Amino acid sequence: MRELAYYEAKFEALDEIMSADERVHLINGTFLSLSPHRHVYQNLQKKFAERMVAPPISELGFCGLAIGAAMAGLRPIVDLSTGSFIYEAWPQVANEAANAYSMSGGQTKVPVVFHLFHGLRGGGAAQHSGSPQSMLWNVPGLEIVIPSSPRDVKGLLKTAAASDNPTIFVDHTRLLDVRGEVPENDKPIPFGVADIKRKGSDVTLIATSYTVQVCLKVAADLAKEKIDIEVVDPRTLVPFDLATILASIDKTHRVVIADETHQSCGVAAEIAARIAESGFDKLKAPIRRVSTLDVPVPYSPPLEEHIGPNEKRIGAAVRAAVA
């Protein structure tokens, strides 16, 4: 089957989305951050120049512009680049976009996509390494998508662009060079359907975004120790596919959750709570979380490596779960 790099799959999706629907406009950014592949964005710029806006540095203002445009019939995709920058746009995202459909009694749709790169990127320090998805999960009215593979980024981006709701598309720069199978004419991936990235029988390892790739390495390593790990990727936080996770736990009876949001009130905390409420009787061991430690992200490489959901910490949590 055809193999693509993550960034290629993502750009194929953007190209197909914009070719198919003239209402899609791209607001701000390059959708590739500062990666070496950012030149591919120029192909889009040549092709769709009239549907691309490079606004001033004003996240609050241009997110509002995109939301208003969505209310009036366009389907904008806004690039916030670094995930922490969405904090600058919080009033528009959390107070206006997320509420408009509900407050209007279902009369005003807001089909906007907010694209952002979250997470530990290697020397990003505290203001450029944020993972705001757990805070956003606390805002009803937003769909949250968090891909981890080339096939997923393409399929999920197409669904996000077609959605009638405000959608947060959470990406990770460390995924850009990951390669994987992407079939020609692949179908869009529906929201709310988790994906088993690796089958296993001893422990259910739930992971999101780049951490899925880390967990696949951990699973390969621990297979040598005869620990058979099932890696489950929810793919979307809103809507959330609890059923697939519970079915996996039915088989393994053990759960580890690895995710790059901070530990307190983070993604892993919410998933753990849902499993405890609905699947406590299936568990033979406590649920274990491997999240980013509750500190502002430090700059120096060994410090950054230490606080994140790295292979060492995930491996230790899995061993403890099956002990």
Partner 1 sequence: MLPKLPREKLLDLCRRMFVIRHFEETLVGLYDKGVFGGHYHLYCGQEATGVAALSCLRADDYLFTTHRNHGHLLARGVDPKRLFAEILGRVDGLNKGKGGSFHSVAPSLGFLHSSGVVAGIIPLSTGTAYASKALKNGRLTVCLFGDGSLEEGAAPEAFNHASLLKLPVLFLCENNGKYGAGRATGAAQSTTMAAYPLTELPKAYKVPAQQIDGMDAGLVHATISEAVEKIRRGEGPQFVETQTVRYPGSETNWPTVPKPTDTSLAWDVSGVPEKAREWYRSCDPVLIYVRELVDGKQATKEEISAIERQVKAEIAAAAEFAVASPYPKPEEAETGYFA
Which parts of this chain interact with partner 1 (CB under 8 A)? 25, 51, 53, 55-56, 58, 60-74, 91-92, 95-96, 99-109, 111, 140-141, 143, 164-165
CB-nearer residue toward partner 1: 123 or 140: 140
Q: Catalytic pick from 59, 143, 230, 270?
A: 59
Is 59 a known active-site residue? yes
Which three-class secondary structure state does DSSP give residue 40? helix
Q: Which among 128, 130, 133 is positioned nearest to 169, based on CA atoms? A: 133
What phi, psi does 256 have (nearest 5°)? -125, 135
Smallest gap from Cβ 244 to partner 1, in A, equals 20
Smallest gap from Cβ 80 to partner 1, in A, equals 14
CA distance 71 to 161: 14
Q: Catalytic pick from 128, 172, 253, 262?
A: 128
Smallest gap from Cβ 136 to partner 1, in A, equals 14
Is 128 a known active-site residue? yes
CA distance 33 to 82: 7
| Rg of the Cα atoms in the chain | 19
Smallest gap from Cβ 173 to partner 1, in A, equals 27
- C-beta separation of 67 from 166 below 8 A: yes
- C-beta separation of 94 from 10 below 8 A: no
CB-nearer residue toward partner 1: 64 or 83: 64
CB-nearer residue toward partner 1: 19 or 58: 58
Q: Which among 110, 87, 86 is positioned nearest to 97, based on CA atoms? A: 110
CB-nearer residue toward partner 1: 72 or 323: 72
Residues assigned a catalytic role:
59, 128
